[in-house]
Amino acid sequence: MKIDDATVRHIARLARIKVSDAEAKTLENELTGILGWVEQLSEVDTDGVEPMTCVTDMQIHMRKDEVTDGGYPEEIVKNAPESTDNFFVVPKVVE
């Protein structure tokens, strides 16, 4: 599978990572190499094999419906690059 420039830019966009032209070129080669290498999996016959969902055999554990958390807005925004009145502040989002 050859990963071309357009694909690199498309997935970089999906992943919200800006890539320079030089980076895109390098990534094109690296991703092509890695994806080519993992393609050896196609040798494995997986017909009728269930994909793994959890590596250990266990049942999901559930919580009771109780309010046990929250009430510390200052702590929530403490590490934020920008905040006002306990709101996170981001560049204007146009809907």
Partner 1 sequence: MANEGAPAHLINSSTGDWEMVIGMEVHAQVTSKAKLFSGASTEFGAEPNAQVSLVDAAMPGMLPVINQECVAQAVRTGLGLNAKINLVSVFDRKNYFYPDLPQGYQISQFTQPIVGEGEVALDMDDGKEIRVGIERLHLEQDAGKSLHDQDPKSSYVDLNRSGVALMEIVSKPDIRSSAQAQAYVSKLRSILRYLGTCDGNMEEGSLRADVNVSVRRPGEDLGTRCEIKNVNSIRFIGQAIEYEARRQIEIIEDGGEIEQETRLFDPKTGETRSMRTKEEAHDYRYFPDPDLLPLEFTQAYVDDLAAHLPELPDQKKARFMKDWNLQHYDAEVLVAEKERADYFEQMVGLGAEPAAAVNWVLNQHLGRINKEGIAFEDAPVSAKANTAILKMTAEGTISGKIAKDLYDLVWETGGNPEKLVEERGLKQVTDTGEIEKVVDEVVAANPKQVEQVKAKPQTLGWFVGQVMQKTGGKANPQMVNQLLREKLDVAES
Partner 2 sequence: MSDPTRLTIAETREALTAKAFSAEELAQAHLDAIETGNAALNAFILPTQEHALDEARASDERIAKGDTRPMEGIPLGIKDLFCTKGVRTTACSHILDGFEPGYESTVTQNLWDAGAVMLGKLNCDEFAMGSSNETSCYDPVINPWRRDGSDAKLVPGGSSGGSASAVAAYMCQGATATDTGGSIRQPASLTGTVGLKPTYGRCSRWGTVAFASSLDQAGPITRSVRDSAIMLGAMAGYDEKDTTSVNVAVPDYEAAVGQSIKGLKVGIPKEYSMEGMPKEIETLWHQGIAWLKDAGAELADVSLPHTKYALPAYYIVAPAEASSNLARYDGVRYGLRVEGDDIIDMYEKTRAAGFGAEVKRRVLIGTYVLSAGYYDAYYLKAQRVRTLIKRDFEQVFEDVDVLLTPATPGPAFALGEKSGDPIEMYLNDIFTVPANMSGLPGISIPAGISGEGTPLGLQLISKAFDEEMLFRVGHVIEQAAGKLPEPEDWWSVS
Instruction: Give contact residues for partner 2 (rule: CB under 8 A).
Output: 3, 7-8, 11-19, 23, 27, 30-31, 33-35, 37-44, 46, 49-56, 58, 60-61, 63, 72, 75-82, 88, 90-94
Q: Does 81 bind partner 1 (CB under 8 A)?
A: no
Alpha-carbon dihedral 69, 73, 75, 78, rounded to 10 degrees = 150
Partner from partner 2, partner 1, none contacting 40, C-beta within 5 to 8 A by type: partner 2
Q: What are phi and psi of 84, to 5 degrees?
A: -140, 130
> Most distant CA pair in the chain: distance in Å?
58
